[in-house]
Amino acid sequence: MQGHSLATAAFALLSRDLRLAFRRRGEALSPILFLLMVATLFPLGLSPDPEQLAAIAPGVIWVAALLSSLLALNQMFHADLRDGTLEQLIISPWPLPVMALVKVLAHWIISGLPLTVVAPVLGLGYGLDGATVKIMFWSLLLGTPTLSFIGAIGVALSVGLHRGGMFLALLVLPLFVPVLIFATAGISASAEGFAVGSHLYLLGALLALAVSTAPFAIAAGLRISIS
């Protein structure tokens, strides 16, 4: 019965966050618009040469996706802090790491999943072949949830700070670097005809590590920030 109740509470929290995001569509669309603007400006600022665009595509698109994820992080806990939901989650009988996991999942569905779908289309516009675009999709599918988990730890630690955006960026950007390196290296290797399995396995390992440890770190960070 308790497990059933926990599942019901988790589903209710997920549904609530998705409904609120649908009502605030402008905030939800901001990461996508940012990604599109950055990906559009690079060819204008550098060169329209197809070979050069294909060479820089992995780095440009992934850096844009990473910064878009960072832009969306403030939506994760700050609204809950303002309306009192966060305090209720902390004092509720449900395990806070499970609730934190649900919050991260909702955040990824709102911001990370659209980036995962849109970014490979931009890769086609940069002249990448179909096989490389497929690897880009898989790298984003494995990498963006990891960014959400890492970012959630930073948000949990800074949610109680006034104007903690700079602290959040300084805290999480260095932790984003391994995901960026493995993802862009895998896409570049695919474009050059090399095997990319090791890169995807490493991204999968980072995701597994994040899923298994980050919810506990997020829960601890929230308790520290709210206490």
pLDDT of residue 140: 94
pTM (predicted TM-score): 0.90
Total number of domains in the chain: 1
Indicate whether 4 pLDDT > 60. Answer: no
pLDDT over 80 (residue 26): no
Lowest mean pLDDT among 35-39, 182-186, 203-207, 210-214: 35-39
Check residue 164 and give its pLDDT: 58
Domain with 206, as residue range(s), is 2-226
pLDDT higher than threshold 70 for residue 223: yes
For 150-184, letters b (16+ CB in 10 Å) and e give bbbbbbbbbbbeeebeeebbebbbeebeebbebbb
pLDDT the model gives residue 1: 41
DSSP state string for the chain: -HHHHHHHHHHHHHHHHHHHHHHTHHHHHHHHHHHHHHHHHHHHHS---HHHHHHHHHHHHHHHHHHHHHHHGGGTTHHHHHHTHHHHHHHSSS-HHHHHHHHHHHHIIIIIHHHHHHHHHHHHHTT--HHHHHHHHHHHHHHHHHHHHHHHHHHHHHTTSTT-HHHHHHHHHHHHHHHHHHHHHHHHHHHTT---HHHHHHHHHHHHHHHHHHHHHHHHHHHHHH-
Q: Mean pLDDT for the chain? A: 86
> pLDDT exceeding 90 applies to what percent of the chain?
33
User: With 50 as the cut, is the pLDDT of residue 221 above it?
Assistant: yes
Q: Can you give the pLDDT at residue 163? A: 64
Mean of pLDDT values over 103-125: 89
pLDDT at position 139, please? 94
Pairwise CA distance, residues 219 & 98, whole Å: 9
Confidence of residue 29 (pLDDT cuts 50, 70, 90): confident
pLDDT in tens, 45-82: 776 777 888 888 888 889 888 888 888 787 788 777 87
Residues 6+ apart with CB under 8 A from 13: 89, 99, 102, 103, 106
Q: If we measure between CA atoms, which residue out of 32, 16, 38 comes closest to residue 111?
A: 32
Assess whether pLDDT exceeds 60 at residue 2. no
Comparing 4-8, 27-31, 132-136, which segment has the lowest mean pLDDT?
27-31
DSSP letter for each residue of 69-82: HHHHGGGTTHHHHH
Among 85-99, 129-143, 150-164, 192-206, name the one with the lowest average pLDDT. 150-164
